[in-house]
Amino acid sequence: MSVTSKPGKDSNQAKSSQEEGFSEVERAAIKDRAAELKSEARRSKSANKAAAEERDVLAKISNMAQPDRALAERLHAVITETAPELAPKLWYGQPAWARSGKVVCFFRSGQGDKQRYSTFGFSPEAKLDDEQGLWATSFALAELTEKAEATIKRLLRTALG
């Protein structure tokens, strides 16, 4: 019995399927998430889990380039002040804030994602549902003005019901 290659599997098709797969940034986020899950499993036995997760978030923020670092630092302060029941944790390698272990909101570094703006968003755990059946779940964040902070505070209060 001889082994032959499958017809149609030439180098052009292989290259094409690689281009359709995950980007380098997406693969890195998946690897980050896998590492986070392993770390959470180890920490679930630790009494200092919340403190360790906050240290991880603050370390991630401190490693960001400006202006994303300033945005993330201020956002962390706003969330901590407005919704102290949310615990910081890493989510896909980016800062997030969770209630009962489930992410409610998150920050994505625009520079880390090679985008022109950062993103502040909410997961389905947030109770932002609107009676019209349409509501925003993420926002471009280029600057954290007083008006933007007020909007974020209002959204956090709504999200937590």
pLDDT, mean of residues 116-140: 95
pTM of the model: 0.72
User: Residue 5 pLDDT more than 80?
Assistant: no
pLDDT confidence bin for 29, thresholds 50/70/90: confident
Task: Please give the residue that has the higher pLDDT: either 60 or 14.
Answer: 60
In this prediction, residue 34 carries a pLDDT of 79
Output the average pLDDT for the chain: 86
Distance (Å) of CA 88 to CA 12, 59, 68, 101, 138:
45, 12, 17, 10, 18
3-state secondary structure of 154: helix
Structure tokens given for 13: 């098709």
pLDDT one-digit tens code per residue, 40-91: 666 555 558 888 899 999 999 999 999 999 999 999 999 999 999 999 999 9
Does the pLDDT at position 106 exceed 60?
yes
The CA distance from 39 to 23, in Å, is 24
pLDDT at 8 over 90: no
**57 Cβ contact partners less than 8 Å away, ≥ 6 residues apart:** 76, 88, 89, 90, 95, 96
With a cut of 50, say whether residue 14 has pLDDT above it.
no
pLDDT value, residue 10:
47
Which tokens go with 50? 């919340």
| pLDDT at site 48 | 80
